Structure 1
Amino acid sequence: MDKYSLLREIADSWVLLAMFIFFLGVIVWAFRPGSRKVHQDTASIPFRNEDRPGVSKAEERQS
């Protein structure tokens, strides 16, 4: 068996399996129970300074 065929066989089976497991890991990590607050906070970034542009969260807490 030549080197190309061996590497092609490995890529078609084990690398595909590894990529699929990595994909499932990313999905599980993104939808883990504790990530809801982080995702909601990130999603609200464009609307944070809608009333007063340029005011940070720390300055909002002080007022």
Structure 2
Amino acid sequence: MDFDYHAMRAFADSWGLLAMALFFLGVVGFVLRPGARQAADDAAAIPLKED
């Protein structure tokens, strides 16, 4: 069991951190892409629109 913990810890320290960093950069890039403001404004106005 001791080996499993160390193997998982090594994986999380290296590849897990890289995966989380790439996911974070992808989310930031998605939010800051051109045209995102208009899409966010349209989505925010949906509850205020009358049927």
TM (norm. structure 1) is 0.64
Match of 1:16 in 2: 17
Equivalenced residue count is: 50
Is 1:5 matched up with 2:35?
A: no
Matched AA of 2:26:
G
Match of 1:46 in 2: 47
Q: Which has the larger radius of gyration?
A: 1
TM (norm. structure 2) is 0.75
Q: Which stretches of structure 1, 4 residues or longer, exceed 6 Å deviation after superposition?
A: none
Structure 1 or 2: more helix by fraction: 2
Matched AA of 2:6:
S
Structure 2 residue runs without a partner (length 5+): none
Indicate the RMSD between aligned Cα atoms, in angstroms: 1.8
**Post-superposition offset of 1:45:** 1.0
Higher relative contact order (CA 8 A, sep 6+): 2
**Post-superposition offset of 1:36:** 1.7
